[in-house]
Chain A
């Protein structure tokens, strides 16, 4: 199997929704997240995407800019070090606890 190209996490910003829609139709983009308006000028729309390193530059065109946020493959490999080894619940008596704080006689809540 050939070595895979690293994936970059990029932010794609288009002048308007139609330009972004056209880009998404023309390019097979791996989208992470949903389109957003920006605080920039006019009707700019932005979306985050994951593209092979060699494709990132090719996305930029009239009305479309591309900013590289991070190397997603490298970031992901670093995160793999944050995955549990073994089985912390191998002991049947080992009960998982969540991250909420237990409150006694608190209300009304919600």
Chain B
């Protein structure tokens, strides 16, 4: 059972929705990719659309991180089959009862968008394996590295890094269309891939949890990515231009990004739940930690998803994460199978415990 090609990822979603019509709905994303590929997500859940709090999972953002799509497709397949057959689920040393699986799909919606960047994945799987960006030729000369945008720098979160961050911060982004990895595009949401993710978040306003599946480093990262977290000074936040030019330096106190204490506690709690569920499979020890480390990021999906509520309080609060699975982008398939089991177990644990972070 090798890696899925891009056609297979999409067909797998279509067939899951046909096989389990009471539990799985196919979602047409509004925009095709630059190369004209239509995109699908699926919504899992026993209730009508929009009637439950929602866990949203996206993958296949960075082209070379192949296994992210398989993780989400097979995670969906496991949940649907287990629920349909009234079974529990086991991954190595970790197991979940049939009642837990049923409760999960009764009480939640799970929206999965496994292949955000189909053009990039196809290019990586057939031409240049280390390709990361999408395949938009519009902004450079259309050749070589001057093609494509880093999808996970194209969201509307501190997009103007030169203004928002300290010159010494070393923020991981590029304004150069020929940067082989980190070009953020000409403006936030310039790319159809990011617009599709934004559309999903708008279309499922009861999304309370968001996970972007990437590789690698065996981490479960929680917000924020632009600076260290703090819960004491609400005015020190990404919307406050007073702090332009000072964000992103590690270890300083000039700026740290505000996160309400309750959200911070919940972010850590669920990240640790994921880690513990995963570790029980075969002992892999992922680290639950802040997305900010030695260097800041901007324009990423997790900060955008969590930040939406602060930009517009009418929008629900979304606890947001990035998974970094594995220790290489394209492990041999037999090891990728082990990683899929690891991460699936962590995701089930995350979903089982997620409702506890929403006030009754």
Chain A residues within CB distance 8 Å of chain B: 1-2, 4, 7, 9, 17, 20-21, 24-25, 28, 30-35, 45, 47-48, 50, 72-73, 75-77, 79-80, 82-85, 87-90, 92-110
Contacts and interface: CB of A to CB of B under 8 A. Distances in A.
Contact of B91 (A33, A50, A85, A100): A100
Contacts of B179: 28
A104 B332 contact: no
A33 B8 contact: no
Interface string B194-222: 00000000000000000000011101000
For the residues of B in contact with A, the DSSP-based class is mixed
Contacts of B349: 110
B343 to A, nearest CB: 10
Interface size class of B (residues with CB under 8 A): 35 or more
For the residues of A in contact with B, the DSSP-based class is loop
A4 B95 contact: no
Contacts of B85: 102
Contacts, number: 186
Contact of A96 (B16, B96, B294, B352): B16
A84 B125 CA distance: 10
Interface of B: 2-5, 7-8, 11-12, 14-16, 18-19, 64, 66, 73-78, 81-82, 85-91, 95-100, 124-126, 128-130, 132, 143-144, 168, 170, 172, 174, 179-182, 215-217, 219, 250, 277, 293-295, 324, 327-330, 332-333, 337, 340-341, 344, 349, 352
B330 A98 contact: no
A103 B89 contact: yes
B98 A85 contact: no
B149 to A, nearest CB: 16
A96 B329 contact: no
Contact of B324 (A7, A33, A80, A109): A33
7 contacts: A28-B179, A80-B129, A84-B2, A92-B18, A95-B19, A107-B99, A110-B277
